[in-house]
Amino acid sequence: MLNNKTIWITGASSGIGEACAYLFAKEKANLILTATRVDKLQEVQCKCVNMGAQCVILPYDLSDLENIDELTDKAIASFGKIDTAFLNAGISQRSKTLDTSFKVDEKIMIVNFFAPVKIAKRLLPSMIENGGGTIAVTSSISGKFGFPLRSAYASSKFAVYGFFETVHAEYFNDNIRVVMVCPGRIRTNISYNALEADGRKHAKMDEGQDSGMSAEKAAKKIVRAIKKRKPEVLVGGKELIMVYIKRFLPGLSRRLVRKVSAT
């Protein structure tokens, strides 16, 4: 089904992005992989090629907004078009609002929101010209409700929902589909790489994260949703019930969130 389809994944060197890359590679997709760490990208690339996929790596730090148009142009040029973009790269947070440097707020918004927005705005014209395409974007259950120690992170994920659901509505008739990927607690390095109040890495695995769903299991659900072009996919464990409590019992949701451990 994905043979000769081109898929670009950001945040592809570990976690969900890496696990999804292997699943796409097994179906002989043409892959473009982006992340900051060249050595890790090369390892993932080698495994994907051994699975029979063509695979190009484009290392990049998405906090550099200035050259994202050039990055996107390189991605398009790699195989001549992009059928699916999985904008998965992101950075989390572990600090209370008043303790957090504005520079940290800014960096999180740049990586999680402005970078995928800029990629999408550059990518969409070529997708439309080629008859359509799919943009999958990693949000979070924190994009559904505010969460302690996540003020900037939750804000960025709320913003992602607003922008990309609008894209879905505006360009539906051009055969553009958006898949909102909404993870709960997945066992990845996201807590290890999260920013603390002064911008330093959290540098430890949170207990809740460590007991979460494996990246491989999450990837199976995500890849299935992307292939079916589903508007939204929730992935995780029992923590996903909070999404439904927020929807149907918002007062209870607010009380529960105040008591939830954020680590």
pLDDT of the chain along its 263 residues, tens only? 677 899 999 999 999 999 999 999 999 999 999 999 999 999 999 999 999 999 999 999 999 999 999 999 999 999 999 999 999 999 999 999 999 999 999 999 999 999 999 999 999 999 999 999 999 999 999 999 998 999 999 999 999 999 999 999 999 999 999 999 999 999 998 988 999 999 999 988 887 778 899 999 999 999 999 999 999 999 999 999 999 999 999 999 999 998 876 56
153 is catalytic: yes
Q: Could you report the per-residue pLDDT of 102-149, keeping only the tens digit for each?
A: 999 999 999 999 999 999 999 999 999 999 999 999 999 999 999 899
Structure token pair of residue 142: 């924190």
Q: How far is CA 162 from CA 33, 145, 168, 181, 189, in A?
A: 26, 13, 10, 14, 26
6-259 CATH fold: Rossmann fold (3.40.50)
Q: What is the pTM of this model?
A: 0.95
Catalytic residue among 22, 60, 153, 192: 153
Domain limits, the chain? 6-259
3-state DSSP call for residue 46?
helix
Count of residues in the chain: 263
